[in-house]
Amino acid sequence: MIKKIKILKSTIIIFLLFSGLFVYSQEIEIQVKFSKKNAVLIFLENLSENDENEFKTLFGKSNYNTSENNRYIEDFKNLNWYFSKNGFKSTRYFKSIIIKNDTWGDIRNLAIGLFSDKILDKLIFLLQHFEPIYDELVYRPSKANFINQLSTIDKLVKEKNVSALFTKVKTFFNSYWNNKSPLIITFYPIPNALGFKAKTYGNTVTSGIPDTYNDFSTLLSVIVHEVSHLLYYNSKEETRKEINEAFKSHISKGALYAKLLFDEATATAIGNGVVYKQIAGHIDKGSWYFHKYIDLMAKEMSDLTEGYLNGNKTIDSNYINIYIKKYESNFFGWLGEPENLMTYHTILANEKSHVEYLRSKFRYGNIYDNHEPITIEKLKKWKDITLTKIILVDRNHKKIIDDIKKVFSEVNIPLDYRVNFIYNTLLKDKTQLILINAFDKKINEMIDNFSLLERMKVDSDIHKY
């Protein structure tokens, strides 16, 4: 979680609505608002989650906890609107529509074509059904305090000239943005909560506010953090190319892992570092991000980032080179720490349950995928993925290890397939290959051993069990 309280890591959801737009020099308008329709959708999404949350607790104790309403929640859960014919983009665009419109009729008309008519009609029906439930359980009890919170935030946005800060971040990333399009920040109340989530959809940001929350400097810094992701992904092609080339051409062994941290670390340095300081008037001396690698790298880059922002400078190869040098000088050992390596990983295994168990041992994964079962054909395709590569071997040990050696020339030491071991080596693409071999132990036991390793040697290492 980002910041002092238990703020959940925001899920970064980006939809590029701005391709082909012109860039203007004037500052943009920032709108602070409440979207009832968006709040109802978030309410229903929370009710359909498997894990407990504030909305589920409130609903469960209410008279609305009926078999009919629970059936409707299951209907929403099984609607598969997240997997529409147009994929995730349809879902993201629908959320942008719902934030900007106040009637279900307008929302439905604008959403035609995003999903099948059957899914769209069912979705609108369910949202309409749960709106009065949301009103009674959440909005009306929170309304007076929530309106005061919105008023305070809107005042702070104007007093601290957050629009000017936005322009500096836009310049830093050399981003496409039509300044005739406002940045819409929409909030919704969360009863009895300790933290909040913030997400971006096009030119909108949506965030919850706990009913007792008043640290608005932190809240706005998190909003700018999320907007920084949006602006980074909308950087002009020449800027993205310069960034990528600077990482790719750097000789540092840590350049690839430094790049994998870059998006999140830079957004944290901007939002939770520079912007928080300018809004609150002092540096936040606590944690800026719940994941230590991002937190420490962001703090290391904060002064340089502040200089670029205040100087209205665009990120360039010099910035990237300093970033990599700081990573190399201060945090090179991270290249051997499983907790860091698991942040960005791909797994090859024979059983999906083994993948799930491995992921359960590490609380943070930003970019990841998995493939099963293990075959030499999969190994050949899989080797080009520039993430930490983890292979879980629980059967056919000799053949699989022989195949691994055929595909990865860097694996050039004797590996006895009859021994339980965890082996790692730094590949030519600057990613770690980690081989977990469970010969006469359960694979989950070997995964447990891996999770307990604090650090491995960076270039190559083997631990036998």
Question: pLDDT by residue (tens digit) across 315-343?
Answer: 999 999 999 999 999 999 999 999 999 99
Statement: residue 2 has pLDDT above 50: no
Nearest to 206 by CA among 2, 39, 9: 39
Which residue spans of the chain are classified as CATH 3.30.379? 338-464
Which structure tokens are listed for 314?
Answer: 């665009």
Q: Please, what is the average pLDDT of the chain?
A: 91
- Options 1.10.10, 3.30.565, 3.30.160, 3.30.379; CATH for 338-464 is 3.30.379
For residue 12, give Cα distances in angstroms to 78, 92, 284, 462: 23, 11, 23, 36
Q: 215-236, pLDDT tens digit by residue?
A: 999 999 999 999 999 999 999 9
Supply the pLDDT for residue 458.
96
Q: Are 3 and 272 in contact (CB under 8 A)?
A: yes
Contact 210, 219 (CB under 8 A): no
Q: How far apart are CA 216 and CA 279, in angstroms?
A: 9
**Quick one: which of 79, 91, 87 has its CA closest to 13?**
91
CA distance 201 to 191: 24
**Closest residue by Cα to residue 243 from 323, 309, 299:** 323
CA of 5: how far to CAs of 82, 189, 273, 420, in Å? 30, 17, 16, 42
Q: Mind giving me the DSSP string for 220-243?
A: HHHHHHHHHHHHHHTB-HHHHHHH
Q: Quick one: which of 6, 3, 1 has its CA closest to 194? A: 6
Q: Looking at the predicted structure, is the pLDDT value of residue 355 above 90?
A: yes
The answer to whether the CB of 423 falls within 8 A of the CB of 437 is yes
Strand order of the β-sheet with 198-201 is: 30-34, 183-190, 204-210, 198-201
Contact 327, 294 (CB under 8 A): no
313: which DSSP letter?
Answer: P
Q: Which residue has the tokens 């995928």?
A: 369
Q: What pLDDT is stored for residue 87 in this prediction?
A: 56
Element spanning 184, H or E: strand 183-190
Kindly give the interhelix angle for 88-100 and 36-47, rounded to the nearest 10 degrees: 140
Segment 117-140, tens digit of pLDDT? 999 999 999 999 999 999 999 999
Contacts of 60 (CB under 8 A, 6+ apart): none
* pLDDT attached to residue 363: 80
Predicted confidence (pLDDT) at residue 18 exceeds the cutoff of 50 = no
Determine the distance from the C-alpha atom of residue 438 to the mean position of all C-alpha atoms in its chain, rounded to a whole number: 32
Q: Is the pLDDT of residue 6 over 70?
A: no
Residues 33-71: pLDDT tens digits?
A: 999 999 999 999 999 999 999 999 999 999 999 999 999
What share of the chain has pLDDT > 90, as a percent? 85
Q: Would you say 284 and 277 are in contact if contact means Cβ atoms under 8 Å apart?
A: yes
Q: Does pLDDT of 17 surpass 60?
A: no
**Residue 90: what pLDDT?**
83
- This prediction has a pTM of 0.87
pLDDT band at 11 (very low <50, low <70, confident <90, very high): very low
What's residue 23's pLDDT?
Answer: 39
Task: Give, in degrees to the nearest 5, the angle at Cα 197 between 192 and 202.
Answer: 140
